[in-house]
Amino acid sequence: MARTWFITGCSSGFGKAITKAALGVGDNVIATSRDASKLADLAQSGVYTVSLDVNSSQKDIDAVVADAVNKYGSIDILVNNAGYILEGGIEEVSDEEARDHFNTNVFGQLAVTRAVLPYMRAKKSGVIANMGSIAGWRGGINCGMYCSTKFALIGITEALKKEVEPLGITVVAIEPGYFRTDFLSGGHKVSPKNSIPDLEPVIKPFKDMFSMYDHQQPGDPTKGAQLIVEALTGTGRCAGKKLPARLAIGSDAIAMITEVLEDKKKELDEWKDLAVTTDIAA
């Protein structure tokens, strides 16, 4: 029996790749973008395309989700993929720019999740996949705000997973490394209006690195999307495997996360003897 997917941010990158991979296994897909006309090629392939701005009101998002449920009867898998990267130094980012970033990358995902969960709770099944990033493991120069949105998403994902697991619903954060999509270019990457000369010697090398790395990333989005579909459906290479709270994909993701864990363990051990001295005496 065909499953039904609801995927946000499908005009390019992983959103589009996951849509194609899910369609390829015979499932139904509701693909969304702020402008559904950008999904014309997917619509021609049999995908149900819908305009959805994840920054819309909860009422509007609820209506889009209700329409999707009326179309196919249920939503079995939600992929919260919509998002963008705000580069620049922390001090350079204005309050408005930071809030806009969190509205899309965090609060937008929350709003879509709130709209979908009642239907999953009613049938006591479903999978919610929040698209995180290896940026959720370590704050980086020039992408601190983006990293912070992914850190926030992990906290939400891990808590939600425990809350709804007894109801038959699975929640996972997908954490890709660098995949060869348009994410480092075009409208997916924006810079703050403010620039601080004092920070330029630190910021510019990383800004240049992003530009040079654009379309030179090691990950193949088609292969990544195929693994994601198998993981979220428990089929193929993932048959019999239980989804972790955080699913890393890409060899660079594995290498970087391993390094972070080793560094954090070393820091913890170095300060442990002092840290434990702060307890109230028995």
pLDDT band per the 50, 70, 90 thresholds, residue 282:
confident
Question: Alpha-carbon distance 163 to 139, whole Å?
Answer: 27
User: Smallest Cα–Cα separation from 123: which of 59, 170, 76, 162?
Assistant: 76
Residue 42, domain member (yes or no):
yes
Q: Looking at residue 280, what DSSP letter applies?
A: P
pLDDT at 29 over 70: yes
Residue 267, domain member (yes or no):
no
Domain count for the chain: 1
Active site annotation includes 146: yes
Residue 212, domain member (yes or no):
yes
pLDDT band per the 50, 70, 90 thresholds, residue 88:
very high
**Residue 129's domain is classified under what CATH number?**
3.40.50.720
pLDDT for the residue numbered 182: 67
Radius of gyration of the chain (CA): 20
Task: Look up the domain containing 69 and give its range.
Answer: 4-252
Q: What is the tens place of the pLDDT at every residue in 181-223?
A: 665 566 677 899 999 999 999 998 888 777 666 667 777 899 9
Q: What is the tens place of the pLDDT at every residue in 67-82?
A: 999 999 999 999 999 9
Contact 32, 10 (CB under 8 A): yes
pLDDT at 244 over 60: yes
Residue 15, domain member (yes or no):
yes
Q: Looking at residue 6, what DSSP letter applies?
A: E
Q: Looking at residue 242, what DSSP letter applies?
A: P
Residue 278, domain member (yes or no):
no
Residue 271, domain member (yes or no):
no
Question: Alpha-carbon distance 28 to 38, whole Å?
Answer: 19
Residue 277, domain member (yes or no):
no
Contact 130, 247 (CB under 8 A): no
Q: What is the tens place of the pLDDT at every residue in 110-132?
A: 999 999 999 999 999 999 999 99
Point out the catalytic residue in the list 48, 72, 119, 146. 146
On the CB side of 112, CA atoms within 13 Å amount to: 29
Residue 185, domain member (yes or no):
yes
Task: Return all residues near 124 (Cβ < 8 A) that are at least 6 apart.
Answer: 167, 168, 169
